[in-house]
Amino acid sequence: MVKMSSIVNRVIGKVCRLHPNMVSHIRTSERVLFLTFDDGPTPQVTDTLLDLLEQFDAKATFFVIAKEATRHPEVIAKIIAAGHTLGNHSLQHENFQTLSRAEQANDVLQSQTTLSGLCQSPCKYFRAPQGKWTFSLISLLKQHALTGIHWSKDSNDFKTTSFEKLTRSLIDAEMKNGEILLFHDDSEKSINMLKTLLPHWQKQGFRFAAIEGYV
Ligand SMILES: [Zn+2]
């Protein structure tokens, strides 16, 4: 049986080929993986995650929810100071497939303004909440010189499955250069997984980079 997620990934892959401002995998000959974290910042969780990433000299991309970022500017400052990339994950995580074009535009512009105020430079990257893209959102991003970032591998860390089981399935998955991996930093599950995964992937010769500079 073909899994729903693989069908979605195939469709997203096609969309990315047609729209150069949409990316789900980064073409590179470097042995590098792109870790991305959605739905933060979450005090304590994001802080602990930053410490773990530092231990492995890992850079990542944080797709933050603008309203949460306003509540925790000190965490945003730590993310930037550590050399990670900050991405926009909308104002308050609404499903863009249920918003009108005007509402989508309002959300993108307001969240861009909020995040620019916190990090002194505009975000260049946007990820739709739950990866629910629409063609009007993609054209809106293009209009504002933003790149939409999807993912090529989903950690499924939002599911109720145990972190041990999820970790095992990522260890079993074949990792290629330039994979964009989806994690979340709204709970400690990703941290529990990465304590095993980071050393495992490092042993396979991978390093971990932020998206800035590659896209
Ligand atoms: Zn999200």
Give the SS3 label for residue 46.
helix
CATH architecture of the domain formed by 26-208: Alpha-Beta Barrel (3.20)
Ligand 1 is an ion; its neighbours by CB within 5 Å are 38-39, 129
Q: Along the 215 residues of the chain, how does pLDDT read in single tens digits?
A: 456 677 777 788 778 777 789 999 999 999 999 999 999 999 999 999 999 999 999 999 999 999 999 999 999 999 999 999 999 999 999 999 999 999 999 999 999 999 999 988 889 999 999 999 999 999 999 999 999 999 999 999 999 999 999 999 999 999 999 999 999 999 999 999 999 999 999 999 999 999 999 99
Active-site residue among 38, 39, 157, 186? 38
What is the residue type of 215? V
Task: Give the DSSP H or E segment for 14.
Answer: helix 4-18
What is the residue type of 209? A
Range 69-76, long-range pairs (CB < 8 A, 24+ positions):
69/41, 69/114, 69/115, 69/118, 70/114, 70/118, 72/41, 72/42, 72/43, 72/46, 73/118, 75/40, 75/41, 75/42, 75/43, 75/46, 75/47, 76/41, 76/115, 76/118, 76/119
Helix axes 45-55, 73-81, angle to 10 degrees: 10
Query: What pLDDT sits at residue 47?
Result: 98
Q: Which two tokens stand for residue 142?
A: 């293009």
Query: What pLDDT sits at residue 15?
Result: 80
Query: What pLDDT sits at residue 1?
Result: 46
Alpha-carbon distances of 26 from 31, 92, 152, 169, 205, rounded to whole Å:
11, 27, 9, 22, 17
Tell me, yes or no, if 184 is annotated catalytic: yes
Tell me, yes or no, if 72 is annotated catalytic: no
What is the residue type of 129? P
What's the 3-state SS for 47-93? HHHHHHHHHCCCCEEEEECHHHHHHCHHHHHHHHHCCCEEEECCCCC
CA of 150 to the centre of ligand 1 (A): 11
Query: What pLDDT sits at residue 120?
Result: 82
Give the SS3 label for residue 162.
coil
CA of 157 to the centre of ligand 1 (A): 12
Are 41 and 62 in contact by the 8 Å Cβ rule? The answer is yes
Q: Which two tokens stand for residue 181?
A: 């991996």
Query: What pLDDT sits at residue 3?
Result: 64
Enumerate the domain spans of the chain.
26-208
